[in-house]
């Protein structure tokens, strides 16, 4: 039984386990204490001092790092505390780029919200010298603007602790302190994996995705271009949040309608590409098992993970599946199979992917992902960018009727939609691999052992009398932990799924921003994933090899999984990378 303690906060008695912080105790009592640098379980350092409370000590104390003690009496909202917090905000604003009207985070900025809540009316209360930083926009995925940085270090904590990449950190001291990369290098010259978790952790607009919406608008306005779009599985689980729809609501039908109204010539579905990936990946796994290929085989859907492997664990490159990611497969098929069917010159086709992921922007530019001098995917925009385009076009998203994706590459199964959640690729692959190997129909298609938001999951599946041990991990820090255990001989697996982002694509760096207060009380990963599992359960077909359009593409064009044309269009290779370049 836990050792419980009792304390009083603003006159409210609350009982909590020993070791609980005052901030957590206040939340349990239903009392709101403002925070800025705090990110539950990730950044609990008391740096911003916004969460100070009065315990009768000689000075105000940061509640996020202050242990609650038995009999403690806490005040969170005295005149002195309110003045202290307001002054802190005015000091932050004294060296902050206050171009809020044009900032991508306007109305979804934690600094802006706190200023409004605490009644800060003068952004120039403390005038003086300001720092002027060059905006780092060289990366194809992430833009850093230190003129908007408040030195909360949330991005630093996510990059180092959650992702184990650590390419940014504080440099200099005092007023000159800044969050930078070593040696003053740009992000693009560092071993940044472009995952964008720093963006979703940032409370302001100091970090944002590279905006490619102008390229899409230009393509849509060009009468010589045939523009094809595809949204990823995880996008439908989160896009609605940008329009006030509750988290965890799938908006697949409205999303398809919105894409059509934006003017795309064809609206296909990356879910189709997910089913196609499973056909190729399951075949590759069976070949490695039966012909003595490199094991464990590791999934290749997550570009952040791929770059992490290429940079930090290059010895595992032979273990990576050679399959392209689902949206790259769709792009390749659009510029070959679809172009042939529609009798369109593929050089006049522009392929646009809507992704929950900033790393997909980097991936699309990889020279390995293309054919005949063309990139498979021309433009990648995030879920947030699509939402901005819908708003810019004046489309009332909430009032849209549902519609379907276009045929030829719009059909999908339940196995495809769960790609957006950690464990989904593994589960989809097992559904097809089991039936391929055994020739039997699965009585139960749900492999619940690989579901859930834990960083590492393991399962042993019996297929045709043989035990197959698999592992699933999400976040590159967990990937590092898992790979180290394999390297050291502590673990032995047949198949591993890795997603760069914690919880998988539903929690990708391009998804709608969720503030720190919500993240402290809601498991965003689980809520969004449930929308995908709900779609899976309702699908009439739940295994990739049952997809009618998939069957047709092999019969009419590809031949067979793993065949010559499949390898030419749907598979790739990987490159060992240096940790930094000058």
Q: Which residues are catalytic?
A: 281, 284, 301, 321, 360, 363, 368, 505
CB-CB neighbours of 391 under 10 Å: 13
Q: What is the phi-psi region of residue 236: left when phi exceeds 0, alpha when psi lies from -120 to 50, beta otherwise?
A: alpha
Location of structure tokens 């059909």: 411
Kindly state the helix (H) or strand (E) to which residue 207 belongs, with its residue range: strand 207-209
**Residues sharing a CB contact under 8 Å with residue 421, sequence separation 6 or more, in sequence order:** 234, 451, 503, 504, 505, 506, 525, 528, 529, 532, 533
Residue 226 DSSP label: E
Location of structure tokens 């914690």: 502
Helices then strands, counting H and E runs in the chain, come out as 20, 19
As given in the structure block, the two tokens for residue 164 are: 């184990």
SS (H, E, C) 526-567: HHHHHHHHHHHHHCCCCCHHHCHHHHHHHHHHHCCCCCHHHH
With beta carbons less than 8 A apart as the criterion, state whether 509 and 411 touch: no
User: Which residues does residue 570 pair with via DSSP β-bridges, in sequence order?
Assistant: none
With beta carbons less than 8 A apart as the criterion, state whether 213 and 388 touch: yes
What is the Cα–Cα distance from 117 to 98, expressed in whole angstroms? 17
What is the Cα–Cα distance from 416 to 542, expressed in whole angstroms? 8
570, 17, 482, 25: which is closest to 300 by C-alpha?
570
Q: Cis omega (within 30 of 0) on the bond before 367? A: no
What is the Cα–Cα distance from 111 to 515, expressed in whole angstroms? 11
Bridge-based pairing state of the strands 297-298 and 495-499: parallel
How far apart, in Å, do the first and last CA atoms of the chain sit?
56
What is the Cα–Cα distance from 557 to 553, expressed in whole angstroms? 5
Location of structure tokens 């990889």: 366
């Amino acid at each position: 039984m836990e050792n419980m303690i009792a304390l009083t906060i603003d006159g409210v008695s609350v009982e909590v386990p020993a070791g609980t912080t005052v901030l957590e105790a206040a939340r349990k009592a239903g009392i709101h204490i403002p925070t800025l640098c705090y990110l539950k379980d990730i950044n609990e350092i008391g740096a911003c001092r916004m969460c100070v409370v009065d315990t009768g000590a000689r000075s105000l104390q940061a509640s996020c790092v202050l242990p609650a003690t038995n009999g403690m009496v806490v005040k969170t909202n005295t005149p002195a505390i309110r003045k202290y917090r307001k002054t802190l905000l005015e000091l932050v604003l004294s060296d902050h780029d206050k171009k809020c009207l044009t900032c991508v985070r306007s109305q979804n900025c934690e600094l802006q919200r706190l200023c409004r809540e605490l009644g800060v009316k003068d952004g120039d209360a403390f005038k003086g010298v300001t720092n002027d930083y060059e905006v780092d926009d060289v990366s194809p995925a992430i833009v850093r603007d230190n003129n908007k940085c408040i030195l909360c270090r949330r991005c630093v904590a996510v990059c180092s602790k959650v992702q184990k990449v650590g390419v940014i950190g504080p440099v200099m001291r005092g007023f000159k302190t800044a969050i930078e990369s070593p040696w003053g290098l740009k992000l693009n010259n560092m071993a940044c994996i472009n995952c964008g978790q720093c963006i979703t952790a940032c409370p302001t607009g100091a970090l944002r995705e590279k905006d490619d919406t102008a390229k899409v608008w230009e393509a849509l306005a060009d009468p010589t271009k045939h523009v094809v779009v595809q949204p990823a599985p995880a996008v439908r689980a989160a896009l609605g949040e940008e329009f006030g729809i509750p988290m965890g609501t799938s908006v697949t039908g409205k999303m398809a309608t919105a894409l059509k109204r934006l003017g795309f010539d064809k609206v296909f579905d990356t879910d189709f590409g997910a089913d196609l990936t499973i056909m190729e990946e399951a075949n590759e796994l069976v070949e490695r098992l039966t012909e003595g290929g490199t094991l464990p085989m590791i999934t290749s859907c997550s570009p952040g993970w791929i770059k992490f492997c290429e940079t930090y664990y290059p010895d595992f490159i032979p273990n990576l599946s050679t399959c392209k990611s689902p949206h790259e497969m769709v792009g390749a098929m659009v510029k070959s199979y679809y172009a042939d069917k529609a009798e369109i010159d593929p050089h006049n086709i522009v392929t646009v992917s809507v992704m929950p992921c900033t790393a997909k922007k980097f991936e699309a530019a990889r020279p390995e992902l293309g054919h005949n001098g063309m990139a498979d995917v021309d433009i990648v925009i995030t879920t947030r960018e699509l939402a901005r385009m819908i708003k810019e076009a004046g489309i009332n998203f909430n009032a849209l009727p549902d519609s379907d994706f276009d045929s030829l590459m719009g059909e999908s199964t339940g196995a495809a939609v769960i790609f957006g959640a950690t464990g989904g690729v593994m589960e989809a692959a097992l559904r097809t691999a089991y039936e391929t190997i055994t020739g039997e129909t699965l009585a139960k298609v749900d492999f619940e052992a690989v579901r859930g938001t834990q960083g590492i999951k393991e399962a042993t599946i019996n297929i045709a009398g043989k035990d197959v041990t698999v592992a699933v991990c999400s976040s590159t820090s967990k990937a590092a932990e898992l790979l180290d255990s394999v390297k050291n001989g502590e673990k032995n697996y047949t198949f591993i799924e890795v997603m760069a982002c914690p919880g998988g694509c539903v929690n990708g760096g391009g998804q709608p921003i969720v503030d720190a207060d919500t993240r402290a009380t809601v498991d965003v990963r689980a809520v969004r994933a449930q929308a995908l599992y709900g779609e899976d359960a309702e699908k009439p077909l739940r295994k990739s090899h049952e997809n009618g359009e998939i069957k047709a593409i092999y019969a009419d064009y590809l031949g067979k999984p793993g065949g010559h044309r499949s390898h030419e269009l749907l598979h790739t290779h990987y490159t060992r990378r240096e940790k930094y370049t000058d």
